[in-house]
Structure formats: structure tokens, C-alpha cells
Chain A
Amino acid sequence: MTDVSNKIREEAGKLLEKGEVDVIIGFEKGSIPLSATPCFIRNEADIEKLIWNEYCGNNLSLYLSKARGKIGIIAKGCDTRAIVELIKEKQVQRERIVIIGVPCEGMLDRKRIMIRCQSRNITGIEDQGRQLLITGDSLNVAVEKDEFFYPACQVCANRNPVMCDVFIGNTIEEQKTDEFTDVTDFNEKPSEERWAYITDEIDRCIRCYACRNACPLCYCKECFVDATQPQWVGKTIEQSDTLSFHIMRSIHLAGRCIECGACERACPVMVDIRKLNRKMSADVKNMFGYKTGLDIDQPAPLSVFKPDDSEEFILDI
């Protein structure tokens, strides 16, 4: 990891020095254990702040439309997939960004590790490769990393950058293609059980909109949920309103969601938001043979019409 961090600093430094970019968007050390935090580097003297580790989970591409000037961005597989879609949807101009691609072997879920550590004060973390030895206040636990990668990382089939200008490190072996077995398994459950699962999850939602705001593809200037004339969705935390929000959001992301899991990572009450988005992705894959975020020239299936498009979703009443 230190090698990668050093290489990132080196490449980012060059870009800033040569004036090829005005800002580097990357990660710096977080303020609490097991964290890293997005940072914006504009000054060569700050280059040393840049780091790379297994806590760099945020999808940085969401900052691309916000930052001014020419941008260098440190991007793992999912960040580059989002960039592909953002370019396709004309939210980001390819020539305005320099992508520093970094392969990613999965990001660790701080919240679940903290639960494992009973939220005790952490004073020491020893990285043993596949294990973390965490010590602290009445605390001494060994955490198997494999159990604590984010769910999205566990099924990620594009851990290497799909597009980049500078490549850092070595290409890593991809995990097997995502067959959406989780979606199939879930689909096989009786509808009452599925409904109970989804509503149980959604009932925890407090409508802080962190899922939406952390999503690189949720860039609408005015989200349907905020519109008042007409008001599409009720503003309460009653199940019908909350569920409407999540369902409508997932449908709006159908064929656009790049499955980075940023929504789920941001959720303070750990709602399984991906459940809905995964179903949409599986449907898009099955109906249109399409996977998002891979090819800048391939149009999104729901934004184009083809005479032989699948019509399975049209209800035959």
C-alpha cells in the first residue's frame, strides 16, 4: 500500500507541477481509526497528504462536476465505471480530467469492523495482510479482512480501472463475472418474505439522503423527491413515502447504477439499499445484455430505442 501511495504522490506531483491539472482529488488519512477521507490537493506542498489504503471507499467521481478547472482524479475500478457513465451522460468532459487509475482489491467496511470491536476505543491496528489485529480499550480482536469487505466489493468484477490516463501498480486478477446469484436467490423467496425483508430494511431509513448524495450518478439539479410542484413523493418517514423514494430512485438508476455501493456505505443506519439497485442491474443485464460503466461508446439501454428491445417489462393484462 505504501508503494501505491508513493506512486500516487509521484504521479499527482508531476501533473500539478507541469500544470496539467489544477487539482488532484484523492484520499488523505482520516481523523478516526479505519478511515480515509477525500481530499483536494491544489498545492504541490500538500502532495504528501495523499494516501492509498483499504479505507478509500468513497466514490470520488461525484466531485468531478463540482470542482473547477482541470482535474486529476485517483480512481479505483468503481470510480472509473462511474466516470464512464458521467462522460456518457455529458456531466463530465473527458478532456477536463486526468484519471490516475488504481486497481482495488476491495475496501473495508469500517462500520462493521467497529461493530465487531463493540465500538471500543482503538489504540492499535496491525495489518497482517489478510488479517487486522486490533487492540484498544478492553479490546483485542483479529479481524479477517475477507469478512469485512463491502458487499459491493465482494461481487465487483471490474476491480481494475476500466479507463485511465496513468496506471498505478499492477493489474490484478478480476473476480469471476457477477452472475447476480444474490438477486436470483432473493427472487426465489416467496413474495411475503421479500416484502418483509425490504420493508424491514426501509423502515430504518431516516431520509437523510446520504445514499443519494453519495451516489455519483445522482446528480440531478433537482431530485424528484425534493420537487414540490408537483410533489411526487410524500416527505414523511411513513413506509409508503420512504419506500416510494427508494424504489423511484432505483428505477431512475436502472441501467445507470455502476454498483459501487457508495449509497450503502453512506447510510448511517445500514439499510440494504443495494437490494433494489441490484435487482435493476440484473434486469438490465438479462433484458439488454448490458453492464454499466464499461464502454464509453456503448449507449445506455434505457436511453436508446431498438426495434428488437426486450418488452418483457410491458405488462400483459
Chain B
Amino acid sequence: MDYRIIKKSKITEYLNNLINEYVIFAPIEKDDIVLYDRIKSGDEVILDYSNSVNSPKEAVIPQLETLISCKNNEDITCVKEHLDEQKRFLLFGARPCDARSLLFLDKVFNDEKCRDVYYMNRRNALTIISLGCTRPQETCFCTTTGGSPFSSEGSDLLFVDIGDDYIIQVITEKGAELVEKLDLENTQNDELTKMDIVINKSKARIEPEMELKILKDKLDSSFEGSAWEILTEKCLSCGICTYHCPTCHCFDMIDEETKGKVERIRLWDSCQFPHFTMQTSGFNPRPTYKERYRQRIMHKFSYCFDNYNMAGCVGCGRCVSQCPVNLDIRQVLTAFYGKHEEIRL
């Protein structure tokens, strides 16, 4: 692997150098909360943060996106695709879990049989610089889902904080191209030793809690049964866990007529909403919070293995820290994994 080094104090300058060439998304603080958002200048970026409230999936699946449109007085023969050429897009300071979520989304949207052009249009323009986690939070469980605080999966460059500098691991060609552009120095051996210490220290703090393959079997055999109802009784069926999840990607497609235009847009939707699966006849295969929460868990930890050979969860912990009723996904999984008998039915 190729390693480079960069002074922390130089980050702002480097980002400013790139800002004309790239649309840059980075963690910023807005009204007290940390969000990934588009920056106009490098000094908006904060580097000392745990993780953002929103996930960076917005870079590839924006909450709202026009697919096709035409003028009000036109018909279907005049439909225009909204596939503008994307400016190069840089996601700076993503956490390794979030970078890894892009690998998952690729499996869904870059599927050979049904490739999603809108996703690919954005994805191809995207370069990801992630920032390894020296301080995993109590809500983090990346190692359980197959990642780690310094996983390079999904990243083009991975930054490791060694004090006054970041060691840059060059992961992909896209990353290498960026490194060349910035003309960064090579690393010394003692710096690499420092890096290894940081990585190992952090990894030791976040041990995997369960074996995913075993978890899948246990979930598959527990589809029926009242455990789901008991475990999810407090669920509000709101969309927080899905909207801020980096891998949740369900969407709705609707037509909107505004300002003399008809647009077909797609927008985030959530399996937690009753209307998500409600048929026009009124029949709903997932009528209550129990079926809907079960769908979310089964999708991530069973169905995704069948379809993509990867969990549909990267363990970022957003659903854990943001759930208004503290319905902790880790506790639900643990209940099925090993301590099933502890649930009093």
C-alpha cells in the first residue's frame, strides 16, 4: 500500500484548492448538530467529531431527485431525462462505516441486470476520503457487521489521525490520482508505527458482538413467534432509523405538477411507514409496527445475505442514538442471537 502524510493544519488549504474542481461534502456544524453537507470553504469542516446525524448516502441517493420531466402542455413523447453530467464529487471525512455503506449500495444499484443510471451517474463522480475512528462511540458496532474503525472498504483514501498529522492510506486509483494532485509527502517508518498503534488501540475497543452467519440462521428460524411483538412494542413506526441509516435505500416515486412542469421524482420512503406496503385494495402485508420492524431487521441481516452476500448494516449506530424510544437494534439482535429464552412471552 502507498502511504502519504498530511499536516492537520493544512487540511483547510488543501480542501480550498479542490473546491473549484469538486463539489465537496464534509461534516459541518449547523445549528448545534453535525451534518454532512456541501461546503463552500475548507474552514467550515470540523474534524473532531464522532459521527454526523445524517448519513452521507445523500451524495448518491438524494432525498429528493427528479427522474424525468416535461412541460405541462406536453405529453409523454416530450419527456426529458434528468441525467446531467455530474461535477466531480468529493466526500471528505466520512467514517469508515459510512464509506463501507457505499459498497452495499453499489450491490443494490449497480446490479448487472437492473443498473440504476441515476445512482451510477452520481456514484461514478464520487471520491471518498474517510477518516478512521480513533474514538468509537458506545453506539458503534461496526465490527459486528464485518467492518472496523479503520476499514478501508469503500474508501478511496483513508486518513489515520496520529496527532498533528494524518497518515493517508491510498486505497484506489481514484485516491492515488487525488494524492498526486495534492503533491503529498511520503511517510517515514516511525510514522507508520504510530499509525499501527492508533489502529490497534481503537480496534481493541470495539469487539464483534456476534457471528453474522449464525445470527442469520437464528433470525430465519424466528420469523414467526411473539418475540418480535414483544421486542418492538415501543416502536413508534417513525422513519428516523431508516432515513438516517446509510444503507437504507427504499424510495417512492411520485409525479408532481409545479410551475408549469410535470416531474416524476423519487424520494426516500421507509419500510416503517404503514403506507409503504399498503395496497390500493386496503390490504397491507405488513400492517403493524411488528411486521415492519421485523422487515427492517430481516432485510438487513438475512435477506441481504441471500441477495448480496453482505449485511445491509454497517454498524454506524445512528438508529441507536437517534431512536426516540431507544429501541436499540443491538439488543434486538442479541435477543435473537443468544438470549432468546430471556424474552418472557
Chain A positions near chain B (C-beta within 8 angstroms): 30-33, 35-40, 42-43, 45-46, 58, 62-63, 66-67, 112, 114-115, 118-122, 137-138, 204, 206-210, 212-214, 226, 234-238, 265-266, 268-270
Decide: A268 and B138 in contact? CB cutoff 8 A.
Answer: no
Which residues in B have their C-beta under 8 angstroms from that of A212?
Answer: 238
Instruction: Tell me the chain B residues, 274-291 only, with Cβ under 8 Å from chain A.
Output: 274-275
In the complex, how many angstroms separate the beta carbon of A223 from the nearest chain B beta carbon?
Answer: 10
Please give me the residue from chain A that is nearest to B242 by CB atom: A208
Known: A213-B237, A214-B324, A236-B64. A121 touches B138 (CB 8 A): yes
Decide: A210 and B236 in contact? CB cutoff 8 A.
Answer: yes
CA distance A122 to B326 in the complex (A): 17
CA distance A43 to B273 in the complex (A): 31
Decide: A268 and B273 in contact? CB cutoff 8 A.
Answer: no
CA distance A119 to B316 in the complex (A): 14
Q: List 10 A-B contacts (CB under 8 A).
A: A30-B326, A36-B326, A206-B244, A209-B273, A213-B237, A214-B324, A266-B238, A266-B324, A268-B243, A270-B32
Decide: A210 and B238 in contact? CB cutoff 8 A.
Answer: yes
Interface centre among A38, A63, A119, A207 (most CB of B within 10 A): A119
Decide: B53 and A213 in contact? CB cutoff 8 A.
Answer: no
Q: Report whether over half of chain B's contact residues are helix, strand or loop; otherwise say mixed.
A: loop
Which residues in B have their C-beta under 8 angstroms from that of A121?
Answer: 135-138
CA distance A37 to B324 in the complex (A): 9
Instruction: Tell me the chain B residues, 296-345 only, with Cβ under 8 Å from chain A.
Output: 320-322, 324-328, 330-331, 344
Decide: B244 and A235 in contact? CB cutoff 8 A.
Answer: no
Q: Does B208 contact A (CB under 8 A)?
A: no
Which residues in A have their C-beta under 8 angstroms from that of B230?
Answer: 40
Q: Does B146 contact A (CB under 8 A)?
A: no
Which residues in B have their C-beta under 8 angstroms from that of A213?
Answer: 236-238
Which residues in A have their C-beta under 8 angstroms from that of B125?
Answer: none
CA distance A138 to B134 in the complex (A): 12
Decide: B326 and A210 in contact? CB cutoff 8 A.
Answer: no
CA distance A238 to B326 in the complex (A): 29
Q: A31 touches which one: B63, B244, B254, B320 (CB < 8 A)?
A: B320
Known: A38-B234, A213-B238, A236-B64. A32 touches B320 (CB 8 A): yes
Q: Does B256 contact A (CB under 8 A)?
A: yes
Q: B239 touches which one: A43, A114, A207 (CB < 8 A)?
A: A207
CA distance A212 to B237 in the complex (A): 10
In the complex, how many angstroms separate the beta carbon of B297 from the nearest chain A beta carbon?
Answer: 16
Known: A204-B31, A214-B236. A265 touches B324 (CB 8 A): yes
Decide: A32 and B236 in contact? CB cutoff 8 A.
Answer: no
Decide: B63 and A206 in contact? CB cutoff 8 A.
Answer: yes
- Given A45-B344, A121-B136, A137-B135, 11 more A-B residue pairs with CB atoms under 8 Å apart are A31-B326, A31-B330, A32-B139, A32-B320, A66-B233, A115-B32, A120-B135, A138-B135, A206-B243, A236-B256, A265-B324
Q: Does B200 contact A (CB under 8 A)?
A: no
CA distance A114 to B239 in the complex (A): 22
Interface centre among B50, B322, B324, B344 (most CB of A within 10 A): B324
Decide: B238 and A37 in contact? CB cutoff 8 A.
Answer: no
In the complex, how many angstroms separate the beta carbon of B290 from the nearest chain A beta carbon?
Answer: 11
Please give me the residue from chain B that is nearest to A236 by CB atom: B64
CA distance A58 to B137 in the complex (A): 24
Please give me the residue from chain B that is nearest to A266 by CB atom: B324
In the complex, how many angstroms separate the beta carbon of B111 from the nearest chain A beta carbon?
Answer: 26
Please give me the residue from chain A that is nearest to B327 by CB atom: A37
Please give me the residue from chain A that is nearest to B34 by CB atom: A119
Known: A43-B344, A115-B33. A63 touches B234 (CB 8 A): yes
Q: Does B48 contact A (CB under 8 A)?
A: yes
Decide: B243 and A208 in contact? CB cutoff 8 A.
Answer: yes
Interface centre among B233, B242, B328 (most CB of A within 10 A): B233
In the complex, how many angstroms separate the beta carbon of B26 from the nearest chain A beta carbon?
Answer: 17
CA distance A204 to B31 in the complex (A): 10
Which residues in B have their C-beta under 8 angstroms from that of A119?
Answer: 34, 49-51, 137
In the complex, how many angstroms separate the beta carbon of A36 from the nearest chain B beta carbon?
Answer: 8
Known: A31-B331, A43-B344, A235-B252. A37 touches B244 (CB 8 A): no
Please give me the residue from chain B that is nearest to A210 by CB atom: B238
Which residues in B have their C-beta under 8 angstroms from that of A209?
Answer: 238-239, 273
Which residues in A have their C-beta under 8 angstroms from that of B31?
Answer: 204, 270
In the complex, how many angstroms separate the beta carbon of B302 from the nearest chain A beta carbon?
Answer: 23
CA distance A241 to B273 in the complex (A): 18
